[in-house]
A = this chain, B = another copy of it.
Amino acid sequence: MAGKADRTREQILDKAQSLFAEKGFKQVTMKDVCQITGMSRGGLYSHFSSTAEIFEALLEKMTSNDAMDFRGMINEGVSAHSILQGALEQIKEEMLSPEDSLSLAMYEYGETVDSKVMAKLNEDANKKWADLIRYGIRRGEFKDVDVEEVVNVILYSYQGVRMWSRVVALKQETVSSICEHIWKTLIGE
C-alpha cells in the first residue's frame, strides 16, 4: 500500500503534468507548482528540489505505464498480438489527449536542461518497441518487417501527432488511421 508521502508525490506529479502541458517547461516555476497543488514551499521542497526533478519524475512515470511494460509481458509469454493491441490503445488514448501532451515541455527541457534525458528516453522507447517486434516475428505473429524502420515510423508519427495536436485540431480518424497503419504493417489486413 502506498504511503502518504507516495500519494502526495503522485498528486504533485498529476497537477504538474497539466502545468507543463499548458506552459511548456521553461515557464513553470516551483511557485506555480505550490499554487496548483495548494502546498507550502517547504512541503513541496520536501518532495522535489526543482521543476527539473518534477519533470524527470513525470517522464519516468509516463514511460512505466502498465500497458507499455512490454518486457514484463514478453517474460510472461503474453502474445505479441495482445501486447501490440494494448500498446496501440494506450498511444491512441494519449494522442487523443492533446491537453496532456508534454511535447513542448520535452522540447524545452531538452534544449535548456539536459538533452541526454531525452536521448535516453528515445533510446529506451526504441529498444522496447524493437524487442516487441522481434518477439512478434520470432513467434510468427508479426510479419518479417525491417524492425528499425517500423520502430522509427511508430515513434516519430506518434511524436508528430503529439506535437501538432496542440496547434491544429486533431481528428479522431487521423489517430485511428496511424494506429491502423502500424497494425497492418506488423500483422496485415
Contact = CB atoms under 8 A, between A and B. Distances in A.
10 contacts: A104-B107, A107-B167, A110-B167, A110-B168, A115-B168, A119-B168, A153-B177, A156-B156, A156-B157, A159-B163
Interface of A: 103-104, 106-107, 110-111, 115, 118-119, 122, 146, 148-150, 152-153, 155-161, 163-164, 166-169, 173-174, 177-178, 180-181, 185
From DSSP, what is the main secondary structure of chain A's interface residues? helix
A18 to B, nearest CB: 16
A125 to B, nearest CB: 11
Contact of A163 (B103, B153, B185): B103
A146 B179 CA distance: 13
Contact of A157 (B118, B122, B157, B168): B157
Nearest to A111: B167
